[in-house]
Structure 1
Amino acid sequence: MKIQTEVIIIHAFDDDGELLSDEKDTINLLAKLPLDSLDLDAISVVTNIYRVAQGLRNKMEREVLSEFGLSWTSFSLLYDLWIWKSVETKKLAQSAGVSKATISNITKTLERKELCYRKVDNRDRRITYVTITEKGKDVMEKVYPNFHKGEVEIASSLATDEKKDISKLLRRVIRENNF
């Protein structure tokens, strides 16, 4: 005897929230899965955040960061150091969303380029801090204006109020998920 389950689709798209073709394809596939419920709005939010993040990363690496020999993650690490001067590796890993091992590898590369240096905490040898160098600051002062132009370009189709609304909503997602 085969039990047929009914999929409850939770969907609250309004008329002006037109779906992208990729979203339609995803919904058509997922609606066939044996799930008790399917929250299409949650799928859409997460999928679109991912697509924007990947598109942003690819655009910036290709159009801005490659000129300075920086990957997205190395730029993120250098950016944090530029803002906070000296940061514990654990905090850098959390901020970049990568492992401490990845931070260690990127830091080694940035050290070879003389953009930062590592220092072990004298009181607790398990803690390592990474500090930006003057050369690292100089690189960031050259890279960031071009990076910011890319940020402005990416958000150019949004009105000021829309930018504020999106930022506010994303901050809530960040806080609620401890990202």
Structure 2
Amino acid sequence: MDAQENNYLEEELSLKLFVVLTRALQSIKKRVEEDIKSYGLNPTEFGVLELIYNKGEQPIQRIGEKVLIASSSITYVVDKLEKKQYLKRKPCPKDRRITYAVLTEEGTELMSRIFPRHREAIREICVGLDSKEKDFMIHQLKKLGYAAQKHS
């Protein structure tokens, strides 16, 4: 096989990989979003609650980068979660420019009830792979992601 044929084959395989990855991600995301919606939340609200539940109070200004949502949307999401009484704002005593998002008792109770069910739902969604395959996929996808970042 000459270099041109090899290059063509690499392009074809790369395109196929992209399509398969995209379709797999769409299927997984759809199932995860259905699970989250069954708790009366949208994925962004759940992401914010899950972050604070697992990592503790967070500066509102930093939530966006950790949950991968636009900083302009953070205030709106925090307002909605505050109205639902799942979290509250807490001013930083040392720096008045910083406000923390903190789970309320209702928010902690909600997450204590739904997060274990959500973890189980994720396990069920990923049942198509065994532990070794999951570990391998994690490694391969990180490798792919890092290479894509480097070449951008």
Question: Which of 80, 91, 95 pairs up with 2:51?
Answer: 80
- Percent sequence identity over aligned pairs: 22
1:56-104 Cα shifts (integer Å, max 9, x gaps): 3321232x22232101111111100100120122332112211112121
The one-letter code matched in structure 1 to 2:38 is E
Q: 1:164 to 1:118 in 2, by over 3 A?
A: same
SS in 2 for 1:157: coil
**1:9 is aligned to 2:25:** no
| Structure 1 residues without counterparts, runs of 5 or longer | 1-5, 12-38
Q: Is the 8 A contact 1:92 1:103 kept in 2?
A: yes
TM-score by length of 2: 0.77
Q: Which structure has the highest helix share of the two?
A: 2
Query: Would you say how many aligned residue pairs link Structure 1 and Structure 2?
Result: 145
Pairing 1:115–2:114 present: no
Deviations 1:136-156 (A, max 9, x none): 111112212321222112211
Alignment partner, residue 39 of structure 2: 68
Name the CA distance, whole Å, in 2 between partners of 1:133 and 1:53: 33
**RMSD between aligned residues:** 2.8
Instruction: Mark the structure with the bigger radius of gyration.
Output: 1
- CA shift in 2, pair 1:162/1:135, >3 Å: same
C-alpha distance in structure 1 between counterparts of 2:109 and 2:49, whole Å: 11
CA contact under 8 A between 2:88 and 2:101: conserved in structure 1?
A: yes
